[in-house]
Structure 1
Amino acid sequence: MDENNSKHEHSSGGKNLKVYTQKVWITLGIIALLVILIFILKAAFNVLLMVFAGSLIATYFHGVADIIETRTRWRRRWCVMLSVSLSFIVAGMLFWFLGAKISEQVGDMSKELPDLVKTAEDKLKQSSLGRKIIYYISGNNSQKLMTSFQQIFRTSFGIVGDFYITFFIGVFFTANPNLYKDGIIKLIPPAGKATAKRLMDRISYTLKGWLKGMLIAMFFISILTLTGLTIIGVPMGLALAVMAGLLNFIPNFGPLIAMIPAVLIGLTVSVNTTLIIVALYLLIQAVESNIVTPMVQNAMIKIPPAMIIISQVLFGTLTGGLGIILATPLLAVIIVTVDELYVKKLQNNQS
């Protein structure tokens, strides 16, 4: 009897061990699949970001075409062609008249960068606050900062091939946007087609308003920065102004990045000049934040500033620099989508 019980316990123990082993392997398999899925989604998200960037290019061309069509009443095809042609002509003229000067100043800035950093370090060593700043950005701390900076901006956007892909996606979207819009709508069940079309129209309107506001803000920042730096007498003012305008496309972080080379160049002149440059950049950003940004938000959608920073950190962590650059329009699209698909329906049900 005892012998039978021991055999039964041994058999059940073996079965339990086998079941436990199977559960362990199943769990490991699920974890492995989740890891693989995360990597696939991350790679796919990078591709989706390039598609989104391409759609922004198409949105810009069609936004300019809307203005031309409103004023001329010409056929849409001709307005789009004129929009693309005018954009390239204006860009070519700017490059022709300003490109050589900007290229020269950027080249000088690159050559002088080590000397600028050395001069800045010598100036900072003359004060206790400066010595603390040097301590935090030197040695291991400097290496950590540089590693973090490289990690943020080491993205597909930095690869020339991906830039061309994004550009050609934008060209195809510009040439025949209805083909892709209708294709997406066809995938939606019949009951949701009207909502999908309304959502896409609203997203298009929001992005056009956002792009219009951003272009005005970038031009505004460039002109004010060039004027201020010229009055102060800072060298390489044109390159710094163009850099400030372009980097204003990235809220919060862009203006801070644009200020760094200006401060380094200012330190080669004097500490007072550096303080004036910092005050100038802060003043311009204050004017832009209190005048231009509200205009942009009224043209698209009001986004809480904290949400912009959170989205930049989130998308930057996932995809790097491209995520940071596109964080604001992506957040606008998400807010519009949630409002159209959830908030409005909830309000209708309550009423």
Structure 2
Amino acid sequence: MSDQQSPDMERISDTEFLRKSLILIGLVVLILFLWQLSDVLLLAFGSILVAIILHAFADVLVRYLNIPSRWSLVTASLTILVLFIGLAVFFGANIRTQLNNVAEQLPVAIDAFGQKLGIGAISDDLSKMLSEVPSSGLALRIAGIGGTILSGLTDFVLVIIAGLYIAASPRIYFDGFVKLFPIRQHRRVESTLVASGEALKLWLISQLIAMICVGILSTFAFWLIGLPSPYALGLIASLLEFIPFLGPILGALPAVLISFTLGGETVIWTIIAAFIIQQLEGNVIFPLVERRMVSIPPALALFGIVVGGILFGTIGLMLGFPLVVVAYVLVKKLYVRETLGESTPIPGETKPKDVRA
């Protein structure tokens, strides 16, 4: 009897092994395919962030201005567009001129900084290195820089347009993603997506408030100190504030370097101003919006940003923290709570559920 069943059992075992092997190969191919599309997926993630910002602003209009829900998104989009156009009209020429001035002054500032450290004029070494590069190679590098800038602008426009489409009909994309999973997993996937979206919205709101406050404070401080191009330096500090941990340092760096061209007390006052602004951000601004903050261990967030920058370059550096937010929600909800059965608060949920109850 056992002899008659053994061939059947061997065939079943071989079939099961073949099925599992094909599944494993399919997963490897899928991972490689997604890795090749990583840049596109990051742009899609950026579009989702744009859609979240638009919906958050639309919710504010509905709640505080009693604008009908069906018109809130259109009103929010038009308001943001008009705001940007207004800023461009009133301050665009001035900021563009100041940004050009900053770009021209940075080599001089770097030289002044190098001389303070006793290492000489750094720009001379760079000019010597460039002069040793064949003209064809230099042309290719310049063309590459121009192509990178053009590609970045194209990606930015693509992210904005895609974000508008997602914001206009979010349910289509939400339901479409959920249907990629088995029916029995739909509720779990839906609740996870909702929690991830809410966590991202909370972080984006707090980060935008911090960016605006840091930009205004930096501009005023640099103008008061007497630094050239204070609007441009404040704008740089504001935009780089989007990158947690590293952004504040990078944002203050141009102002500190340019202060070395003026020397004396200007350097000291610039460093003091940058330090005070960051202290205000950490001890005043963020505590005021801490209800909208996503609490993530700082070391985990920092490593996430660094890894994003290493794997995906500049865009990975910019989107590293929001990616960490999503990963943090997924791990806490799907693994810690629903797999291990531990009770844990999850960003994006007002009341954590205890699965052991």
TM over 0.5: yes
* 1:52 and 2:45 aligned: yes
* 1:216 and 2:209 aligned: yes
Report Cα offsets for 1:259-305 as digits up to 9, x if no partner: 22212221121232112111211211122122333455542421111
Corresponding residue of 1:259: 252
Of 36, 50, 70 in structure 2, the residue corresponding to residue 43 of structure 1 is 36
Report Cα offsets for 1:240-277 as digits up to 9, x if no partner: 01110111001122222222221222112123211211
Superposition pairs for residues 1-351 of structure 1, below 5 Å?
40-122=33-115, 124=116, 130-131=117-118, 159-295=152-288, 298-345=291-338, 346-347=341-342, 348=354, 350-351=356-357
Decide which structure has the larger Cα Rg and report it. 1
Q: Pick closer, same or farther for the CA change 1:192–1:296 going to 2, 3 Å.
A: farther
How far the C-alpha of 1:42 sits from its partner, in A, is: 3.0
Give 5+ residue unaligned stretches, structure 1. 1-32, 125-129, 144-153
Q: State the AA in 2 paired with 1:117.
A: I
Report Cα offsets for 1:277-335 as digits up to 9, x if no partner: 11211211122122333455542421111112100111111101111111111111111
Name the CA distance, whole Å, in 2 between partners of 1:54 and 1:93: 24
How far the C-alpha of 1:70 sits from its partner, in A, is: 1.4
Equivalent position SS for 2:242:
coil
Name the CA distance, whole Å, in 2 between partners of 1:157 and 1:342: 42
Name the CA distance, whole Å, in 2 between partners of 1:291 and 1:194: 39
Name the CA distance, whole Å, in 1 between partners of 2:323 and 2:216: 28
| Mean Cα deviation higher: 108-117 or 317-326 | 108-117
Alpha-carbon RMSD across the aligned residues, in angstroms, is: 2.9
Name the CA distance, whole Å, in 2 between partners of 1:291 and 1:269: 31
Name the CA distance, whole Å, in 1 between partners of 2:209 and 2:106: 30
Are 2:109 and 2:259, in contact at CA under 8 Å, matched by a contact in 1? no
How far the C-alpha of 1:114 sits from its partner, in A, is: 2.8
Are 2:111 and 2:120, in contact at CA under 8 Å, matched by a contact in 1? no
Equivalent position SS for 2:118:
helix
Equivalent position SS for 1:63:
helix
Give 5+ residue unaligned stretches, structure 2. 1-26, 131-146, 343-353
TM-score, scaled relative to structure 2:
0.76
Aligned-pair identity in percent equals 30
Report Cα offsets for 1:183-215 as digits up to 9, x if no partner: 112222222222222222222211111111111
Name the CA distance, whole Å, in 2 between partners of 1:175 and 1:215: 22
The count of aligned residue pairs is 300
| Mean Cα deviation higher: 88-97 or 65-74 | 65-74
Report Cα offsets for 1:147-175 as digits up to 9, x if no partner: xxxxxxx9899533222222221121111
Ranked by relative contact order (alpha carbons within 8 Å, sequence separation 6 or more), the top structure is 1
Name the CA distance, whole Å, in 2 between partners of 1:209 and 1:260: 28
How far the C-alpha of 1:349 sits from its partner, in A, is: 5.5
Are 1:157 and 1:322, in contact at CA under 8 Å, matched by a contact in 2? no
Are 2:218 and 2:234, in contact at CA under 8 Å, matched by a contact in 1? yes
Equivalent position SS for 2:37:
helix
How far the C-alpha of 1:41 sits from its partner, in A, is: 3.8
Name the CA distance, whole Å, in 1 between partners of 2:173 and 2:245: 33
Q: Pick closer, same or farther for the CA change 1:62–1:340 going to 2, 3 Å.
A: same
Name the CA distance, whole Å, in 2 between partners of 1:157 and 1:253: 25
Name the CA distance, whole Å, in 1 between partners of 2:113 and 2:355: 62
Corresponding residue of 1:12: none
Corresponding residue of 2:8: none
Q: State the AA in 1 paired with 2:112.
A: T
Q: Pick closer, same or farther for the CA change 1:341–1:297 going to 2, 3 Å.
A: farther
Name the CA distance, whole Å, in 2 between partners of 1:344 and 1:287: 36
TM-score, scaled relative to structure 1:
0.77
